[in-house]
Structure 1
Amino acid sequence: MNGTLFQQILDPANRADPYPLYAEMRRTPVSRQDDGSYVVSTHAELYRLLHDPRISSEDLPDPPLFRWTGHPLSDLFVRPVRSRITARHRPFIFRDPPDHDLLRRQVMREFAPARVRAMRRKTEQLTHTLLDGLRDRTNLDLVDDFSYPLPVTVICELLGVPREDEPRFQGWATQLATALEPDRRTDRENAGRTEEAFTAISDYLRGLIKGKRRAPQDDLLSGLAAEHDGERMNDHDLVATAVLLLVAGHETTVNLITNGILTLLRFPEHLERLRREPEVAPRLIEELLRYEPPVHYRTRLARADIAIGGTTIPEGAPVVLLLASGSRDPMRFADPDRFVPDRANNQHFGFGGSLHYCVGAPLARIEAEVALVALAQRLQAPRLLADPPPYRPGASLRGPRHLLLAIDAVAPGASAELAA
């Protein structure tokens, strides 16, 4: 029965509301699928496996269950990188210790609190500039008009991409994101365009890195390219890391912002509270990460037999960590299907956990906070034109493809003051 349930979760027809299916999955905390993979759906078991060194992120197989849904970013990174350079140079999220730990330490050093805090001001400027451009509109698509362009511009600023090159990055990000959409993976013409985009951005980044090594600036890519305590990231790892930050950070933040506004429009009392009391934003965002997270599952590989949840996951089996299900587990959260922004002790899996906890989480929180507060305060009488909205087909990186809104107006903002 649970094998059939997970097939239903993967079915795009259930993308708008997979949560009843998750509740059914939790009746069997660890369930074997017909292809030999194991789905883990309860909070306690997910927490254990996230911290279990026998669970690996490397060398994931391609079981039949995932041939059309895919591991997040696997088609984009793992296969091209394996063929174009070597498995040793995959992005660090697809590597285990000690390689993972070394690369993650280098990235985390550059995500220093001071740099992340400095990005808040820039994010505010970009947010209000985008909203200023919508001031003559009474209908908008939040995804195309706001949620999609904001994160890629923030990431370009973070990496140190010259302003004149940002349009190229937006085009590459748009194309590379199609590798995450199951219905585009059998489109050979689109696959060719994706490979071209991957090649183009890799070549561009190699040139940019060369320049950063020669003349460092105060940006993340310069920091990663520099030597620290005898350590320096090689060019292959630098390219893989930069593309990872662009695509993974971009897509998840798009979903976080869009899911956030969709949820607030469904619960207008919380939208109004955010408008009046922007200081509630950090707690509200933590609840959004639990209630409507941007990432719903990740896949791993069992490196040994693991007894858990009343069954044994055999060595070599793919493991699906159904994180969004764990974040709605009634054994861990009271009234888990209610949106409660003041929820205490909110130990969600919105950013994963343990070794692979999202390195960009502090920046994503800032982007979401700035964006949601600005939207709450500047969009006048926003209304959903379609509920549920159309969703991207992917079950893992889950978010609306479009979010059509009617508004009375976009109120004046603080753009001039911020620019000054």
Structure 2
Amino acid sequence: MDSETLLARITDYASRPDPYPLYAELREAGPVVRQADGSHLVGGYHQVAALLHDPRMSADPRTGGAVTRKPPFLRLDDPEHHRLRTLAMRPFGPPHCPGRVDGMRGEIEQITKELLSSFEAGREIDVVDDFAYPLPVTVICRLLGVPRQDEPLFRTWSDALVAAADVRPDADATEPDESADRARTEMGGYLLNLAEQRRGKPADDMLSAFVNEPDPDLRLSQEELAETAILLLIAGHETTVNLITNGVLTLLRRPEQLDHLRREPGLLPRAVEELLRFEPPVHMRERIPREDMDIAGVPVAKGTSVILALASGNRDPRRFHEPDRFDPTRPDNEHLGFCSGIHYCFGAPLARVEAYAALGALLPLLGSAHLLEDPPPYRQNAMLRGPRHLRVRL
């Protein structure tokens, strides 16, 4: 049956420019569809949202017996997930307080201005390489305390780890990914070395906060510190690059909406939320049932891979009016762009501040800009979907 090949077709690189017709096919066939590899694909908004909050669903790949190595806390379950997430978030500021991120707003706007200072009329730019990538990388390097000149090093490591994190139906989860393991080891060693340099000589950065924690009950182990720093460094820029680039592409394809935002820049926060719904930076997440379950009338066995298609849920007409229309004034926009439940993206406040600064600064320049290639070339990763390059003439 065609529905059993949906995950393979969605993750096929040929579908990267526009997977949304396949998501519509998924919702029509579903909301839960068994795939040829034995996994289940879920595409309805209400089903995806419910499963993200269901304690019977595990984020830990070890639940399915596929791997034995301890994953980063992004893929752990409570209570361990809660402990490590809480410790990782402490340097950002107290719970429910904007803290450090909000205090960086001015600095983020200054970095944005510096990047745009060379953008002149008539110039051809690559939105990714010239702007959307260096902005969040510079920000997360400053937050963590990583020298910006070392960016080529961790970009190579990051690319290997992101590639390994993709959802691929043909991948053998029991086979180790040697390039990813090597990248994780080298990156972890690099970050631990930086942290050790700050032991007893703290600077105003997160590595210093981690390594100089006075309370032994709140200290991260060496392994936890390395994994947490890796996660923060990668997650701190990968998804934001997609958010900014997808935003520019969406607006350039819709000049009427671009003009609307240029006339009413106060709509930008709502426009960013609509971008997170319409073109989310993360398309899928995997969950694994701890027990045999019935999901929307479909029996799913314990330990089975369940792929939650966040991007499909964001376009579900049962939840959103005219879901395939980009509407920066859309009300009641409770999207899944930052996931939901206990694994809701804790970097969401930072990503929003960066997106507001980036798109707000770009709006005056985009009115007379035009795409040089549409669709643009996309990154290989289907889960973290976004253009690899976005060439524009100002």
Cross-structure match for 2:295: 308
Percent identity reads 49
Secondary structure of residue in 1 paired with 2:199: helix
Query: 1:197 Cα shift?
Result: 4.6
After superposition, the C-alpha distances for 1:160-195 in whole angstroms (9 at most, x for unaligned) are 22xxx212134312442244348x999xxxx87766
Cross-structure match for 2:141: 156
Letter in 2 for 1:55: M
Query: 1:271 Cα shift?
Result: 1.9
Query: 1:379 Cα shift?
Result: 4.6
Secondary structure of residue in 1 paired with 2:55: coil
Query: 1:100 Cα shift?
Result: 0.3
Query: 1:228 Cα shift?
Result: 4.8
After superposition, the C-alpha distances for 1:20-58 in whole angstroms (9 at most, x for unaligned) are 110110121011111111111101111110011111111
Letter in 2 for 1:20: P
Cross-structure match for 1:298: 285
Q: Is 1:145 aligned with 2:134?
A: no
CA contact (8 A) 2:252 2:366 kept: no
Q: Against the structure 1 CA distance between its residues 359 and 228, is the aligned structure 2 distance closer, same or farther, given a 3 Å change threshold?
A: farther
After superposition, the C-alpha distances for 1:300-356 in whole angstroms (9 at most, x for unaligned) are 111111212121111110110101000110000000000011111111100001010
Cross-structure match for 2:364: 377
Cross-structure match for 1:202: 188
Aligned length: 378
Q: Is 1:122 aligned with 2:104?
A: no
Structure 2: 5+ residue stretches without partners = 172-176
Q: Against the structure 1 CA distance between its residues 98 and 122, is the aligned structure 2 distance closer, same or farther, given a 3 Å change threshold?
A: same
Q: Is 1:217 aligned with 2:203?
A: yes
Cross-structure match for 1:172: 154
Letter in 2 for 1:5: L
Structure 1: 5+ residue stretches without partners = 64-77, 408-420
Measure, in 2, the Cα distance between the counterparts of 1:193 and 1:306: 35
Measure, in 1, the Cα distance between the counterparts of 2:309 and 2:379: 18
Measure, in 2, the Cα distance between the counterparts of 1:175 and 1:379: 33
Which one of 53, 57, 60 corresponds to residue 51 of structure 1?
53
Secondary structure of residue in 1 paired with 2:143: helix
Query: 1:251 Cα shift?
Result: 1.2
Measure, in 2, the Cα distance between the counterparts of 1:135 and 1:196: 41
Which one of 84, 108, 115 corresponds to residue 103 of structure 1?
84
**Matches of residues 335-414 of structure 1 in structure 2 within 5 Å?**
335-379=322-366, 381-407=368-394
| Deviation larger for 90-99 or 130-139 | 130-139
Measure, in 2, the Cα distance between the counterparts of 1:178 and 1:60: 21
Q: Against the structure 1 CA distance between its residues 300 and 402, is the aligned structure 2 distance closer, same or farther, given a 3 Å change threshold?
A: same
Letter in 2 for 1:122: E
**Matches of residues 281-296 of structure 1 in structure 2 within 5 Å?**
281-296=268-283
Measure, in 2, the Cα distance between the counterparts of 1:11 and 1:237: 34
Secondary structure of residue in 2 paired with 1:121: helix
CA contact (8 A) 2:64 2:288 kept: no
**Matches of residues 208-287 of structure 1 in structure 2 within 5 Å?**
208-225=194-211, 226-228=213-215, 230-287=217-274
Letter in 1 for 2:235: A
Q: Against the structure 1 CA distance between its residues 234 and 136, is the aligned structure 2 distance closer, same or farther, given a 3 Å change threshold?
A: farther
| Deviation larger for 131-140 or 108-117 | 131-140
After superposition, the C-alpha distances for 1:334-384 in whole angstroms (9 at most, x for unaligned) are 000000111111111000010100010000001111001111124561101
TM-score by structure 1 length?
Answer: 0.84
Measure, in 1, the Cα distance between the counterparts of 2:232 and 2:297: 37
Cross-structure match for 2:174: none
Secondary structure of residue in 1 paired with 2:236: helix
CA contact (8 A) 2:64 2:303 kept: no
What's the C-alpha RMSD, in Å, of the aligned pairs? 2.4
Measure, in 2, the Cα distance between the counterparts of 1:376 and 1:174: 31
TM-score by structure 2 length?
Answer: 0.89
Measure, in 1, the Cα distance between the counterparts of 2:197 and 2:331: 47
Cross-structure match for 1:71: none
Measure, in 2, the Cα distance between the counterparts of 1:261 and 1:291: 13
Letter in 2 for 1:96: D
Query: 1:203 Cα shift?
Result: 1.9
Secondary structure of residue in 2 paired with 1:26: helix
Secondary structure of residue in 2 paired with 1:290: helix
CA contact (8 A) 1:56 1:96 kept: yes
Secondary structure of residue in 1 paired with 2:227: helix
Letter in 2 for 1:169: E
CA contact (8 A) 1:61 1:318 kept: no
Letter in 1 for 2:241: V
